[in-house]
């Protein structure tokens, strides 16, 4: 076989089940929509139950077909999560860089995955809504301002004012979770780490590409077969967006193609 024919030969294709977990309104569905359709909806309705989508990512040596389960973040659906992360080979645990409590919830999901998900699952910690920050870099955590107020109680007004000014985020910067805090935690737990903006597309493709590259070759399955629980009931046509609405099913067409 000539070199050109070899280069044009179809690459092996493997299916990877991926689940998104995180608190409500952190932007999980928006990340998926940006990855699958390169689109963003400003007022996206909350996911009810879960949504299923697919998208391909082409690597130098193979094609990865992500079978994506986008789970609802509302607490009343938390008990359903094991059904979706069972047999998953990868997970995106998403938090909002403007909301510290969402990182706390993300840590809860990471711990649960480490206890109950498949051994060797690739987990990416993703801080979304980077577009609401000024520089996309480090910032002071939200808990520091109240502490500063307490510590400065005995200082004069000028000193207190200076300290408060130092700890407030820059004008227009809504960041409340520092990059350093989240990245240090991710490193300690052996997680991939990215900060993203689903709204403007920052690092979205990079997250999924990094996950695709991190999946061990031994855990990849050729063709279908990485579906896991619930998939046969919903169907799994390429690009299908199947939303589980407390037993009802709606379908919307999603664009199929390589986003990587």
Q: What is the pLDDT of residues 101-140, one digit of tens each?
A: 999 999 999 999 999 999 999 999 999 999 999 865 444 3
166 phi-psi bin (left φ>0, alpha ψ -120 to 50, beta other): alpha
Cα separation, 50 vs 38, whole angstroms: 20
What integer best gives the mean pLDDT of the chain? 77
Any idea how long the chain is?
Answer: 260
Residue showing tokens 């139950």: 49
Cα separation, 41 vs 39, whole angstroms: 7
Cα separation, 100 vs 80, whole angstroms: 24
What structural domains and CATH numbers belong to the chain? 13-138+190-253 (3.40.50.300)
Q: What is the pLDDT of residues 150-170, one digit of tens each?
A: 333 334 444 434 333 334 444
Closest C-alpha to 211, from 116, 88, 111, 83: 88
For residue 203, pLDDT over 50 is answered with yes
Alpha helices in 117-241 (DSSP H): 144-151, 157-167, 179-189, 204-214, 231-234
pTM above 0.85, yes or no: no
User: Within 13 Å and on the Cβ side, how many CA atoms surround 44?
Assistant: 21
Closest C-alpha to 49, from 240, 237, 234: 234
For residue 31, pLDDT over 60 is answered with yes
Q: What is the pLDDT of residues 63-115, one digit of tens each?
A: 999 999 999 999 889 999 999 999 999 999 999 999 999 999 999 999 999 99
For residue 244, pLDDT over 60 is answered with no
């Amino acid at each position: 076989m000539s070199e050109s024919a070899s280069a044009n030969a179809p690459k092996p294709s493997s299916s990877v089940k991926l689940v998104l977990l995180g608190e409500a309104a952190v932007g999980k569905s928006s990340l998926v929509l940006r990855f699958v359709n390169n689109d963003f909806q400003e007022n996206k309705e909350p996911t009810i139950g879960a949504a299923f989508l697919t998208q391909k990512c082409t690597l130098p040596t193979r094609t990865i077909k992500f079978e994506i389960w986008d789970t609802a973040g509302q607490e009343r659906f938390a008990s359903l999560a094991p059904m979706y992360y069972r047999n998953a080979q990868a997970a995106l645990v998403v938090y909002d860089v403007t909301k510290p409590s969402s990182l706390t919830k993300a840590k809860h999901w990471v711990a649960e995955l480490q206890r109950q998900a498949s051994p060797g699952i690739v987990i990416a910690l993703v801080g979304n809504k980077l577009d609401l920050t000024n520089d996309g870099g480090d910032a002071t955590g939200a808990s520091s301002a109240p502490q500063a107020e307490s510590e400065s109680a005995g200082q004069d007004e000028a000193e207190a004012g200076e300290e408060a000014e130092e700890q407030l985020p820059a004008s227009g910067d809504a960041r409340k979770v520092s990059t350093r805090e989240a990245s240090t935690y991710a490193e300690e737990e052996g997680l991939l780490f990215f900060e993203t903006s689903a709204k403007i597309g920052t690092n979205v493709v990079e997250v999924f590409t990094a996950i695709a590259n991190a999946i061990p070759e031994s855990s990849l399955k050729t063709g279908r077969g990485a579906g896991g629980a619930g998939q046969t009931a919903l169907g799994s046509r390429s690009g299908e967006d199947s939303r589980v609405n407390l037993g009802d099913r709606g379908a919307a067409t999603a664009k199929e193609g390589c986003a990587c």
